[in-house]
Amino acid sequence: MTAIITPATTRALFAIGDERSAKRVVDLLNESFDEGQAAIAAFERPDGRWDVSVHFADPPDQASIRNLVGLASSDAVAESIVFDVVEAKDWVAESLEGLAPVRAGRFVVHGQHDRARVPPNKLGIEIEAALAFGTGHHGTTRGCLLLLDQVLRAKSPRRMLDLGSGTGVLAIAAAKATKRRVLATDIDPMAARVARENARLNGVGNLVDSICATGFASAAFGERAPFDLVLANILANPLRQMATAMAAHLAPSAMIILSGLLPHQAMSVIVAYRARGLVLLRHQQIEGWSSLLMQRAG
């Protein structure tokens, strides 16, 4: 396996109190840097606070960064910023070290180094951690795979959609289990390419159609709808916002699997889809994340 060595980078880390504040800070930082100068990420913690990290291509003026964050939040948050240096390392070796296969029902998500460890009665999904986020080791992905296994033991959906496909784990799982075509979409062109390559490496490149698309605006959705099964491992806000559009693309009695939700966010998503004629069949929690299985009435 080819080593991927990333150069040392300067990183800024801080926590902030709520989603609105985190978005305000991230938006200001994004506006302040040209493309390629900084990589900014924000993640919600189980306690409701948000962790923000910024990786800089070149060492930043720390005082300027504190001033920017202070403008969008508070002096206390600005002063709490911790700057450190992320040393150069082989991220492939780092990410694979100790990364055991993930078992979820009939599915086993694994890296190339564990290919031989997949039992013959299981469906192996080979995803390298170095390619992109979404190796199957996150509680949301495992939750989706468990619910998918449950659905496919009772039904045989014909038209399937993996919305926000990432590395394509869910689309590949559905294609392998059903031997039917799956539409995989993501708003990130790189993710769509990664999913396409992963499908090919897993022997279902002819079944997984991976495209870059935002929401349900792409013509591809109308051409392939109505869907009998939708997998959407995204985040609470986009899932709520897409409830009407998703319901419009569902077949009668269609099943949807929704994840990327913290437990306190699940009820608002359930309510949004109930209002569009779907009923909750199962709500499961794994590693502090909720996954929902819902069905369209009728």
5-91: CATH topology is: Alpha-Beta Plaits (3.30.70)
Task: Write down the number of H helices and E strands in the chain.
Answer: 11, 16
| Cα-only R_g, the chain | 20
Residues of the chain with pLDDT under 70: 1-8, 35-36, 87-100, 128-138, 298
pLDDT of residue 87: 67
The secondary structure of residue 215, as a DSSP letter, is T
CA-nearest of 249, 234, 282 to 161 is: 249
pLDDT of residue 232: 96
CA atoms lying within 13 Å on the CB side of residue 167: 23
pLDDT of residue 240: 94
152 CA to centre of own chain: 21
pLDDT of residue 35: 65
CA-nearest of 192, 177, 296, 174 to 231 is: 174
The secondary structure of residue 225, as a DSSP letter, is P
Residue for token digits 């306190």?
Answer: 264
In the beta sheet, which residues pair with residue 185? Answer: 163, 211
pLDDT of residue 23: 87
pLDDT of residue 2: 39
Q: Report the CATH number of the 99-296 domain.
A: 3.40.50.150
The secondary structure of residue 249, as a DSSP letter, is T
pLDDT of residue 147: 97
pLDDT of residue 42: 83
| Domain-wise residue ranges, the chain | 5-91, 99-296
CA distance linking residue 102 with residue 112, whole number of Å = 13
Q: Check the CA dihedral 156-157-160-162 and report its sign.
A: negative
Cβ–Cβ under 8 Å, residues 176 and 141: no
Instruction: Please name the residue ranges forming H helices in the chain.
Output: 19-32, 62-72, 75-79, 91-96, 139-154, 169-178, 189-201, 219-224, 236-241, 243-248, 263-274
pLDDT of residue 145: 95
